[in-house]
Amino acid sequence: MIKIYDTTLRDGTQREGVSYSTEDKLNITRKLAETGIDYVEGGWPGSNPKDIEYFKRVQDLNLPGLTVAAFGSTRHAGIDPEEDRNLQAILESGAEAAALVGKSWILHVEEALKTSLEENLAMIESSVSYLKEQGLEIHFDAEHFFDGYEDSSDYAIKVLKAAEKGGADSLVLCDTNGGTMPSRLREIIREVKLQISSPLGIHAHNDCELAVANSLVAVEEGVTQVQGTINGFGERCGNANLSAIIPNLQLKYGYQLVSPEKLKRITATSRFVSEAANLNPPAQAAYVGESAFAHKGGIHVNAILKNARTYEHEDPELVGNHRRVLVSELSGKSNLVYKAEELGIELDDESQDLQEVLATIKDLEHQGYYFEGAEASLKLLLEKSRGDYQKLFGLEGVRILTDKKEDINPHSEATIKVLVEGEQVHTAAEGVGPVNALDKALRKALINFYPEIKDIYLIDYKVRVLNGKDGTAARVRVLIETGNGQESWGTVGVSSNIIEASWQALVDSIQYGIRLAQKESGV
């Protein structure tokens, strides 16, 4: 049986720019448990107060089927295990299991530890034995194992045997520098199995973009524990990506790692971990990415409407993802019909209107519009083409002033006139910038007519220069993501004037949000 050992909370936090609070780590632990992970490595309890707090609080969680492990290194040279502070911290953490890392490469023993080869073996055996005597389940991480094996296979095997003699429950072969090729990794594991009888694990890094491949090869060779992180987070190029490994092992190899219901949670878990790290979820990630089952080419969409297997290797629902059809200049009629249906608009795929809308979309994208990330703007465009568009307000005029003085942040004020339900509203607002002032002024003008606007808020605002050769006169594309606490939507605007592009996207976002709220309330 294959066991999944997650180290997102330790290895994953070594990714540049990632730092989880204790609360984040506890929430991620809950998500991992819900996804069916067997082991979660909570951190190194001897290294910082945050991990100490985590191990205290995680004991209060109800995590059926999940074992929380602590991470630590073998004892220091020249002292007994009972005197080693790191080992004592593991015991004090209250964890049921521990990953104990030891050096298996002579280079590291001599240059990093500055100790003898025999002392390193003694450190490994005594540390493992000591923690086993205290009742812990021990997974020995043979750090730099594959590099160490290439340097001296005899010594690397002695390291494994020392941990085995100490009573380790599994011996984890680590490709710490991430430079081992799959074919060589396979050969080494086969050679190791001739001399080692204990269960083996794999801990692969992704420096050559091979961590997932190496993990799968290791399983093919009989390894029974796979270590990795959600989304492949980790130092340098990252660790083996469990968001891909788990579906691959279950759907492609046939291993029953988790229940089908828990497998469906892998996409949500992946995105939760990214959000907790304040990172955008990886769109192109296999299985769990937003683009993993997204179809853009018209021929592709036409085919999947007939049979999804034509361009999908698995049903996205199996991993909690979903099929997406994108509308762009590459689209055919099938894309637009599918997307319209998804947005709740009925289109006849043989109508002249459809051809005209498709031509309009392609022309707009040629100008720089981008509807893949702006489905709310697309829906409004489709409604306009059908005569279903209900204009909630109209602009009669706007003036924006920005005051800038030396060494003082600029200050903006927007004055706006809009026509709402036949009434002209004239108001003004100040903001930290021109777009913020414009947004505030528009909301101020609309709030008495559409109180729903108070629950609509900006999530993201992006500006992209479309053709830099025109310098500051270049056309820009503004993408706005807006939300209401339950869902979010994207809108787009394009112009050589950044205020005009922002206005287009802002109007669509407000218009869509108000109508969405009215629909939900039955207005």
**In terms of Cα–Cα distance, which of 429, 432, 403, 402 is closest to 416?**
429
User: In this structure, are residues 52 and 93 in contact, taking their beta carbons and an 8 Å threshold?
Assistant: yes
What pLDDT is attached to residue 337?
Answer: 61
Any idea what DSSP says for residue 74?
Answer: P
Give percent of the chain with pLDDT exceeding 90.
62
What pLDDT is attached to residue 415?
Answer: 95
pTM of the model as a whole = 0.70
For 126, phi then psi, to 5°, come to -70, -35
User: In this structure, are residues 57 and 26 in contact, taking their beta carbons and an 8 Å threshold?
Assistant: yes
Mean pLDDT, contiguous 10-residue spans, the chain (523 residues): 97 92 93 96 88 93 94 96 95 96 96 95 98 97 98 98 98 98 98 98 98 98 98 97 98 96 94 84 90 79 79 93 66 56 59 64 67 76 73 90 81 92 93 90 94 89 78 82 86 89 91 86 67
Q: Which amino acid is at 253?
A: Y
What pLDDT is attached to residue 290?
Answer: 83
The two domains 3-276 and 394-521 share their CATH topology (first three levels equal): no
Residue 55, burial from CB neighbour count under 10 angstroms (0-12, 13-18, 19+) = buried
Q: Angle, nearest 10°, between helix axes 352-367 and 375-386?
A: 140
What pLDDT is attached to residue 255?
Answer: 97
Report the Cα–Cα distance between both ends of the chain, in Å, rounded.
Answer: 56
Write down the domain spans for the chain.
3-276, 294-364, 394-521
Residue 260 CA to residue 277 CA, distance in Å, equals 27
Say whether 10 sits in a helix, a strand or coil: coil
Any idea what DSSP says for residue 241?
Answer: B
DSSP alpha helix (H) spans, 282-332: 298-306
What pLDDT is attached to residue 68?
Answer: 97
What pLDDT is attached to residue 152?
Answer: 98
**In terms of Cα–Cα distance, which of 49, 43, 56, 57 is closest to 14?**
43
327-364 pLDDT, tens digit per residue, is 554 455 555 566 556 556 565 555 556 666 666 766 66
Give the distance from CA 65 to its chain's centroid.
24
174-221 pLDDT, tens digit per residue, is 999 999 999 999 999 999 999 999 999 999 999 999 999 999 999 999
Q: Where are the beta strands (DSSP E) in 39-178?
A: 39-43, 67-73, 97-103, 137-143, 170-175
> Options 3.90.1010.10, 3.40.1410.10, 3.30.160.270, 3.30.110.30; which CATH number does 394-521 get?
3.30.160.270
DSSP alpha helix (H) spans, 419-477: 434-446
What pLDDT is attached to residue 358?
Answer: 66
Residue 179 CA to residue 210 CA, distance in Å, equals 8
Token digits of residue 71: 């991470």
What pLDDT is attached to residue 144?
Answer: 97
User: In this structure, are residues 10 and 269 in contact, taking their beta carbons and an 8 Å threshold?
Assistant: no
Token digits of residue 397: 């005029």
Residue 384 CA to residue 377 CA, distance in Å, equals 11
Residue 322 CA to residue 57 CA, distance in Å, equals 35
Quickly name the fold that domain 3-276 has. Answer: TIM Barrel (3.20.20)
For 168, phi then psi, to 5°, come to -60, 140
What pLDDT is attached to residue 448?
Answer: 93
464-487 pLDDT, tens digit per residue, is 887 766 777 788 888 888 888 888
DSSP alpha helix (H) spans, 330-468: 333-342, 352-367, 375-386, 434-446
Could you tell me if residue 222 is left (phi over 0), alpha (psi between -120 and 50 degrees) or otherwise beta?
left
